[in-house]
Structure 1
């Protein structure tokens, strides 16, 4: 299957990264738009794209596949405005890339014959993202199945995988992504704060912890969660856990975080059968 020519509306972090990755993969981009037109025009010039501006003025400027990569709160408004351009979207596939919103938010375009879908990348993007950041990631697909073949081809060209989900599955997957990505960031920030509580420089603490984090992630990828688990709770080391709790007694937020994650870790350790029922019970009592 040939990749369709593409329009991108919104060139923030995701839209910018997507445009560069599509271009690098040899997928034709017909037009780029952004609320601040000069941002779209600059990117268009960099990627040799002929059509750009603040918003398409007619359907002749639109590709066969239209990505709406604006903030979640702006998607419906953009879709409504886009629907005013023409009465016939039957030859178009329109997708948004929000993890939180369903494809149905594009209903205005569906009512005019368009195929609609959500195409959410399970990846984090920054101003420094590269086309390679799309390789081996997953896009969740939700919406009209007629849109899926084109989107699967785009994902394939980017070196990515796809996962078809229901609306409910999509919502839960997005919560999971926040836990796995955003909250991992927060957890590591808390770990550095803990290490720095006795005067160790935060930068040194972060540098010392990162190899551990990377190895842990690799172990999780290669093994089950319970087999990849290590540390005092898996060993049933009540004395060490008690000492940790005492060290954090003057840091209530860090203490609460340690306790709730510790309780979850006890349940994981029980699955690995590394601690007995009595030790697990004592550990849970200590962590409450």
Structure 2
């Protein structure tokens, strides 16, 4: 007997909600997407899973409104996609549904029109069995990996995700500015850095740490690090603190790999720490222009 086709109701048409709806539809899932600004649905929700993709601060008030309206079926699991919030922010829905859970995809959603690849991405899933079961089906349909860490601190977990995802985007943005000072057109630079970041991601997944580290710090080349700093001080001084912080973060990995003498790593550390004590002159130059405003995620 064929398994029942999964049905999903997504409330919140921001970046995450739209991307999930798009991916699920392509996978053959029955999906209803409703923008939060349109208000509560007028019909009863009988989907296998209700996914709330509203802002963190709106999760509990939204859950309360759904519960008070009596429009969620007792066979419907209810999840949210917030990384720093436990399942319990949906507590008002627990008694009127099949259960509640956190279902956070560790994926970067940046646009309402261009969607990230989800296959292979990891999703932290924790909560009631009645919500976890349909959520696991959703995750499997999308080709993603469900993870449950019983003692996970969601705030620390989300801090790590934000540090890597948002930090990498910000780091690349500075890289675009540095490339511009070296003669690379600003519109070309992102096309160059994107594949570079892809290769870093591949190295992280396939090699892990410390092996994923590359470059002059790994090789113990203090002279190269000094030359990079000289260029940054002259051309983009406000990038110096970021370069220093990134270099110091690389040193423990480089020391663990041991491809150079300890003295070489000591020399790099001295160069970086000396640079940290020199206050850079802020640069007001920017190669970026503000794009047309995009509807914020819900």
Q: TM-score, normalised by structure 2?
A: 0.81
2:1 maps to 1:16: no
Contact 2:64/2:92 (CA < 8 Å) preserved in 1? yes
Compare 109-118 and 74-83 and name the one that shifted more. Answer: 109-118
Compare 207-216 and 139-148 and name the one that shifted more. Answer: 207-216
The 1:82/1:189 distance shift into structure 2, 3 A limit, reads same
* CA positional deviation for 1:259: 0.7
SS in structure 1 at match of 2:51: strand
- 1:107 corresponds to: 91
* CA positional deviation for 1:28: 2.6
* CA positional deviation for 1:183: 1.2
Aligned positions of 1:48-197 closer than 5 A: 54-57=39-42, 60-86=44-70, 90-112=74-96, 114-125=98-109, 126-130=111-115, 133-166=117-150, 168-197=152-181
CA distance in 1, matches of 2:71, 2:49: 17
Of 261, 285, 289 in structure 2, the residue corresponding to residue 276 of structure 1 is 261
Q: Which protein has the bigger helix share?
A: 1
Q: Count residues in correspondence.
A: 269
| Structure 1: 4+ residue segments shifted above 6 A | none
Gaps of 5+ in 2: 274-298
Contact 1:220/1:228 (CA < 8 Å) preserved in 2? yes
Compare 259-268 and 248-257 and name the one that shifted more. Answer: 248-257
CA distance in 1, matches of 2:166, 2:123: 18
SS in structure 1 at match of 2:10: strand
- 2:279 corresponds to: none
Contact 1:93/1:115 (CA < 8 Å) preserved in 2? yes
The 1:166/1:89 distance shift into structure 2, 3 A limit, reads farther
The 1:196/1:264 distance shift into structure 2, 3 A limit, reads same
Gaps of 5+ in 1: 38-53
* CA positional deviation for 1:124: 2.2
SS in structure 2 at match of 1:119: strand
SS in structure 2 at match of 1:94: strand
Over aligned residue pairs, what C-alpha RMSD do you find?
2.4
CA distance in 1, matches of 2:150, 2:13: 27
Compare 253-262 and 276-285 and name the one that shifted more. Answer: 276-285
The 1:88/1:21 distance shift into structure 2, 3 A limit, reads closer
The 1:194/1:144 distance shift into structure 2, 3 A limit, reads same
Contact 2:218/2:251 (CA < 8 Å) preserved in 1? yes
CA distance in 2, matches of 1:232, 1:87: 60
- 1:264 corresponds to: 249
* CA positional deviation for 1:261: 0.8
CA distance in 2, matches of 1:279, 1:133: 41
CA distance in 1, matches of 2:163, 2:17: 23
Q: TM-score, normalised by structure 1?
A: 0.83
Contact 1:3/1:154 (CA < 8 Å) preserved in 2? no
